[in-house]
Structure 1
Amino acid sequence: MTEERPLADDAVLLVGHGSRREKSNEQVRTLAADLETELGVPVDAAFLELAEPTISAGIDTLAPACQTLTVVPLSLFGATHVKNDVPLAVQTARAEHPDLTIHYGSHLGVHPSLVELLDDRVRAVESDLGVDRTTDDVSVVICARGSSDPDSNADVHKLARLLYEGREFHRVDASFIGVTDPLLDETLHTVTKDRPDAVVVVPYMLGDGTLTQRIRDRTADFDDEYPYVAAGAGDPLGVDDRVVDVLADRWQEARSDSVEMSCDTCKYKVELTGYEDDQGGARAMLRSLVHQAEHADRESVDDDPHVHDAPEKHVAVCTNQTCAESGAAAVIEELRQGVRNTDDCDARVTRTSCLGQCGDGPMVAVYPDGVWYGGVTADDTDRIVSSHLDRDRIVSDLVHQTL
């Protein structure tokens, strides 16, 4: 029988991504335990996927034991999971636990403590290679996972610059192991043109796994190819007191409602060159139209069980952070229930990333009609279903824009 916790004023749920490698999941649990020691409040771990408990289950466990719960994402960057998936889970939990105050904290991000931790990882490799930045030309390459979110990738370059400032490195470059440029191999070959005495590669990742091993392997290959340059790869951030300190800062920010989103450079909010399809809901529209164009119509579905039954309408509900905080989870549930309860419409209701209308949500986009509804509440969903989805009559007082 599980022992009940005494009621506390505050509690924290630390949300990791989740991994098939139990060692990685255990690292999240260790950080949660260390954070509990530092804060003096209950801290549990939960996961987005691939591990238990889920965010929902984690909140259900802590809810009876506290009055205020802060959900903090254990993520280095503010990409899709931080902007979409975790906020939706938080908003759903708010509806399920109306008497519980739930705050949502920021990701780890760019923080002076993490820059210092990176510097320590570099020093360890310098020691192994027998070089010293004060007397030798030491170049550093920070290698991150890589993301489809330009804001996240830009943070890696910012970290590289901050690590360079005030330190005696020959140069510090940002690179990625996949998804985006510059890739690690390309960066290593670029750096060697300066003929440094040593190149130190540091993985900017929390745990030690497949990607960090790939970084070590690429660095070893580089070391073999360029024998006149000493090269070595360092350890990831790991379980370190400074990571715990940053998590404590994020908890305090959330409790004081001082969390700031990076909207000015968010690909969902503004049109960034190369990411035009992601801004303002264009991707949601494209997905809907392509989905209907590529799948067979109803008459062929029975003949091929792998063919999807394409709906006449696709309803996309924004679940990004600001829409989630305004009740997007309840809107999705009511729309889905409304569609299930009627025989007069053929529609699929799904969530989508930011539609670029922060502050005017929750946003509901109906395609292929190209109608966007703004400020939609759960009470408005019945009209959207009965009028627009059932009878093709637009609910004019809810229209935000049409495309």
Structure 2
Amino acid sequence: MTRRYVLVARPTPSGVDLTAVGALAEACGIGYALLDQGEPTIHDTLDSAVAADLPVTLIPLAVPRDRYLETWIARAVANWKETRGRDLDVRVTEGIDTATGFDDIVRALMNEDGKPVTASPRAFRSPAWSRIPEHTEHILVCRGPRCTVYGAAELHRTLRQDNPKALVTPTGCLNPCNLGPLYITYPDGRWHTNALGSAIENA
């Protein structure tokens, strides 16, 4: 039986280099998913695998090993099985840095001098990063693992589309996860919980 193999990355709050993740997945002839902060999600991946009638093996993409990533991959899969009512064969590998030969790769890099750093310090202090963007309100959208499962991607897109004068910023976990997806508006400091459907319309 053919299996579907998928790299799973955990973006930082600043995002992830999707081009690099996609290139690695393509070079390996497999797909990729994001734990949080973006798409495609683990749920998207498993939905697609069911449609193709393929079992799935998820490969945590983190160096060094990220126990948080591995724990939340398992939780996301468990949530998917519960909410979809499906019993897809889903497995998870060890972290990439435990693979045979990984330490040899690091040692090989130690034999290289590397490339000179040629970046200009001007980019670090660019005037563009001294200006606060014009906005009528600031909306913080939780893109943590649970809110991602609960529909934060759709919420984020909708808020950006429906509030063009607002500064809409994705964040990591904002804590009251079982009330997600959620966002906070400023300057009023109001929390908007279970924010899909009519809740978005009232934003």
What does the per-residue CA deviation read over 1:225-263, in whole Å, with 9 as the maximum and x for residues that have no partner? xxxxxxxxxxxxxxxxxxxxxxxxxxxxxxxxxxxxxxx
> For the residues of structure 2 that align with 1:366 and 1:106, how far apart are their CA atoms?
40
Residue 180 of structure 2 corresponds to residue 380 of structure 1? no
Are 1:11 and 2:8 an aligned pair? no
Q: How many angstroms apart in 2 are the aligned matches of 1:339 and 1:352?
A: 17
Aligned partner of 1:208: which letter? V
- In structure 1, the residue corresponding to 2:201 is in which secondary structure? helix
Q: Cα–Cα, structure 1 residues 13 and 308, in superposed 2: closer, same or farther, change >3 Å?
A: same
Q: Structure 1: give runs of 5+ residues left out of the alignment.
A: 1-6, 33-42, 49-53, 122-203, 218-303, 341-345, 385-403
SS at match of 1:208: helix
Q: What is the distance in 1 between the residues matched to 2:145 and 2:91? A: 9
CA distance in 2 between partners of 1:357 and 1:105 (Å): 28
Query: 1:13 Cα shift?
Result: 1.0
Query: Which residue type is aligned with residue 196 of structure 2?
Result: T
Percent identity over the alignment?
20
Deviations 1:146-193 (A, max 9, x none): xxxxxxxxxxxxxxxxxxxxxxxxxxxxxxxxxxxxxxxxxxxxxxxx
Judging changes above 3 Å, is the alpha-carbon distance between structure 1 residues 213 and 325 closer, same or farther for their aligned structure 2 residues? same
Is the Cα–Cα contact under 8 Å of residues 192 and 199 in structure 2 kept in the other structure? Answer: no
1:71 offset after TM fit, Å?
A: 4.5
CA spacing shift, 1:70–1:362, aligned 2, 3 Å: farther
Q: Deviations over 1:94-130 (max 9, x none)?
A: 9xxx9x98x7969739xxx94xx8xx99xxxxxxxxx
Structure 2 CA distance, aligned partners of 1:371 and 1:213?
51
**CA separation of 1:72 and 1:373: change in aligned 2, threshold 3 A:** farther
Provide the TM-score with structure 1 as the length reference: 0.29
Q: Higher relative CO (CA 8 A, sep ≥ 6), structure 1 or 2?
A: 2
**Residue pair 1:46, 1:55 contacting (<8 A) in 2 also:** no
Matches within 5 A, 1:305-384: 307=131, 309-340=133-164, 346-384=165-203
1:320 Cα deviation (Å)?
0.6
Asked whether the 8 Å contact 2:139–2:168 carries over to 1, the reply is yes
Structure whose CA Rg is larger = 1
- Counterpart of 1:367, as a letter, is Y
TM-superposed deviation, 1:11: 2.2
Q: In the alignment, is the contact (CA less than 8 A) between 2:39 and 2:153 conserved in 1?
A: no
Cα distance, 1:12–1:310 mapped onto 2, change above 3 Å: same
Matches within 5 A, 1:1-400: 11-15=4-8, 44-46=30-32, 56=40, 65-66=52-53, 69=56, 71-75=58-62, 76-78=65-67, 82=69, 108=95, 114=98, 208=106, 213=110, 307=131, 309-340=133-164, 346-384=165-203
Query: What whole-Å deviation, never above 9, does each CA across 1:283-333 have from its counterpart, x for those lacking one?
Result: xxxxxxxxxxxxxxxxxxxxx988453212111111111111111111112
Q: Which runs of 5+ in 2 are unaligned?
A: 11-15, 115-126
Distance apart, 1:363 and its partner CA: 1.8
Q: Residues of 2 paired with 1:326 and 1:357: CA distance?
A: 13
Q: What is the Cα deviation at residue 361 of structure 1? A: 1.4
Query: What SS does the corresponding residue of 1:359 show, helix, strand or coil?
Result: helix
Task: For 2:61, give the aligned amino acid.
Answer: L
Tell me the number of residue pairs that the alignment of Structure 1 and Structure 2 aligns: 159
Q: Deviations over 1:42-84 (max 9, x none)?
A: x714487xxxxx974x95xx756445656443221156xx49x
Is 2:6–2:33's contact at 8 Å kept on the other side of the alignment? no
* 8 Å CA contact retained: 1:316, 1:366: yes
How has the CA–CA distance of structure 1 residues 15 and 322 changed in structure 2, closer, same or farther, with 3 Å as cutoff? closer
Residues 104, 308 of structure 1: CA spacing in aligned structure 2 closer, same or farther, 3 A cutoff? farther
